[in-house]
Amino acid sequence: MKTAGYLAEIMEELSQTVQQIPESEAEELVNQITASKKVFVTGAGRSGFMGKSFAMRMMHMGIDAYVVGETVTANLEPGDLLIIGSGSGETKTLVAIAEKAKHFGGKVAAVTISPESTIGQMADIVIPLPGMTKDQSAGSHSSIQPMGTLFEQTMLLFYDALILRFMEKKGLDSDKMYGKHANLE
């Protein structure tokens, strides 16, 4: 198969996964982001990269958003929100971060393949996404792509859809957001 053929397969897989995202949980997450003073995002590996892109867009919308582990990350306080992207929901470093967030009175949202996982059970909001974990041991959606790629792609698109929903609720457009875009580059 040629590259364009693979791309068509990937797009087909993504069109199937996005239809399975529960709207009520997504709306609950948008509402919690709106209600939180600060929003923290974390994930390991490629899931972490997807979270970083989400934190950047939240910042463009004027949300006080941080990536866990970065040097400029603020402290989590009661009522703040931590969003964890983890296919398995069992990554030990992310479990520890979730435990700390709960200890400090934060809310936890899990974006995961495995709602029954340790992180899923700790979370106040669980967004189940289709896909396979990186070791292909868990998940509801097979893929031609390696490891957790389908989950990671679906997560990025889900985060971008949350941004659009938030923009709609707050009456924002791209011009208003551009004013918060980095200008020292």
User: Which are the catalytic amino acids?
Assistant: 152
Amino acid at 141: H
The answer to whether the beta carbons of residues 167 and 58 sit under 8 Å apart is no
**Residue for token pair 């982001």:** 33
Q: Exposed, middle or buried by CB within 10 Å (0-12, 13-18, 19+), for 9?
A: middle
CA distance 68 to 161: 22
DSSP assignment letter at 115: T
Of 48, 106, 44, 47, which Cα lies nearest the Cα of 75? 106
Strand partners, 132: 139
